[in-house]
């Protein structure tokens, strides 16, 4: 049995259909990358999974349990097991690294101050930033900020980590660092990892499996080698850097010149 399953999921915003029939299974321990053009529904997929967006049809299962349709209260224990690194995963500028990392712990878990400090120390060291508890976000580079956000997601010791565009906006050195870190965490603390990106190079480098979404469906799923060997023109387009974007995004891009 898969750890996570989207079965026949439908999702629309008014007339805008994002998912017509989403079917995807995610195995425990795997590092799965979801790839798709801008506006194809990658962030929506992750938000549906943790119950931030309701689905219009179909089902989502986690660990054998149908979670779609859960109330907020029912989702609370799920959100302790499935942590998300948000696309705009900003840190609170008025809190130091320790308090940023401790945020979810204080909100979700009943821990003593000593336990909080210990967990923050562990989480910062997992992302290669030991001893930075007292540092302020303003004094951190973009790559370090990402890593502190990742430490915040890790702090609750989740079984599943969802990463929404973890490398976007970083310079090439930091892209590699974060990509290495994602692989390392997947192996070392044995989380199941779901990475959303439109960066094909990163996807090919880090993934056990890549699922490609387009026009409301998973159009391809396979290992990096299978992706490289595919002669599906939509897959080739991606590899060659011509990822399609949805109509709204295209209009936006065009009006921006
Ligand atoms: N809360 C919302 N209300 C209305 N429309 C939404 C909402 N969230 C997403 N959408 C629309 O759903 C579509 C998919 O959005 P989503 O954010 O999942 O795209 P994405 O694949 O993550 O794109 P990007 O690569 O740019 O982050 C887009 O057309 C978007 O405008
Ligand atoms: Mg997105």
Measured from the Cα of 165, ligand 1's closest atom is 27
Q: Is 168 in the pocket of ligand 1 (CB under 6 A)?
A: no
Q: Which ligand is nearest to the CA of 38?
A: 1
CA 38 to ligand 2 centroid distance, Å? 7
CA-nearest of 147, 93, 98, 100 to 118 is 98
Domain spans of the chain?
4-92+160-255
Measured from the Cα of 45, ligand 1's closest atom is 18
CATH number assigned to the domain covering 4-92+160-255: 3.40.50.300
Does the pLDDT value for residue 88 go beyond 80?
A: no
Residue having the nearest C-alpha atom to atom 14 of ligand 1: 41
pLDDT-above-70 percentage for the chain: 93
- Residue 169 pLDDT grade (very low, low, confident, very high; cuts 50, 70, 90): confident
Residue having the nearest C-alpha atom to atom 26 of ligand 1: 38
- Residue 254 pLDDT grade (very low, low, confident, very high; cuts 50, 70, 90): low
Mutate to test the pocket of ligand 1, among 16, 35, 39, 245 (most ligand atoms within 8 A of CB): 39
Looking at residue 1, what is its pLDDT? Answer: 85
pTM of the complete model beyond 0.85 = yes
Q: Could you read off the pLDDT of 60-79 as tens digits, one per residue?
A: 999 999 999 999 999 999 99
Looking at residue 158, what is its pLDDT? Answer: 94
Q: Which of 36-45, 104-113, 189-198, 199-208 has the lowest mean pLDDT?
A: 104-113
Mutate to test the pocket of ligand 1, among 17, 20, 43 (most ligand atoms within 8 A of CB): 43
Does the pLDDT value for residue 257 go beyond 60?
A: no
Looking at residue 238, what is its pLDDT? Answer: 84
Who contacts 137 (Cβ-Cβ below 8 Å, separation ≥6)? 91, 92, 93, 95, 96, 97, 100, 145, 148
Residue having the nearest C-alpha atom to atom 30 of ligand 1: 39
């Amino acid at each position: 049995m898969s750890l996570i399953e989207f079965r026949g999921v439908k999702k629309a915003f008014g007339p805008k259909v994002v998912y017509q029939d989403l079917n995807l299974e995610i195995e425990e321990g795997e590092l799965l990358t979801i790839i798709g053009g801008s506006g194809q529904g990658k962030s929506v997929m992750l938000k549906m999974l943790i119950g931030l967006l309701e689905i219009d049809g179909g089902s989502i299962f986690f660990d054998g349990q149908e979670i779609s349709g859960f109330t907020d209260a029912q989702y609370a224990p799920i959100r302790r097991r499935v942590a998300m690194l948000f696309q705009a995963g900003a840190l609170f500028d008025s809190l130091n690294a320790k308090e940023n990392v401790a945020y979810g712990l204080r909100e979700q878990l009943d821990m003593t101050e000593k336990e909080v400090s210990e967990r923050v120390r562990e989480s910062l060291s997992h992302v290669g930033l030991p001893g930075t508890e007292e540092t302020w976000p303003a004094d951190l580079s973009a790559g370090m900020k990402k890593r502190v956000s990742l430490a915040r997601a890790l702090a609750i010791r989740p079984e599943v980590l969802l990463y929404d565009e973890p490398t976007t906006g970083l310079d090439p050195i930091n892209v590699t660092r974060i990509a290495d870190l994602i692989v390392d965490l997947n192996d070392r603390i044995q989380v199941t990892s779901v990475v959303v990106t439109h960066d094909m190079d990163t996807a090919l480098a880090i993934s056990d499996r890549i699922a490609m979404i387009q026009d409301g469906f998973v159009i391809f799923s396979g290992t990096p080698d299978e992706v490289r060997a595919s002669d599906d023109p939509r897959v080739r387009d991606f590899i060659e850097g011509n990822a399609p974007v949805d109509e709204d995004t295209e209009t936006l891009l065009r009006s921006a010149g």
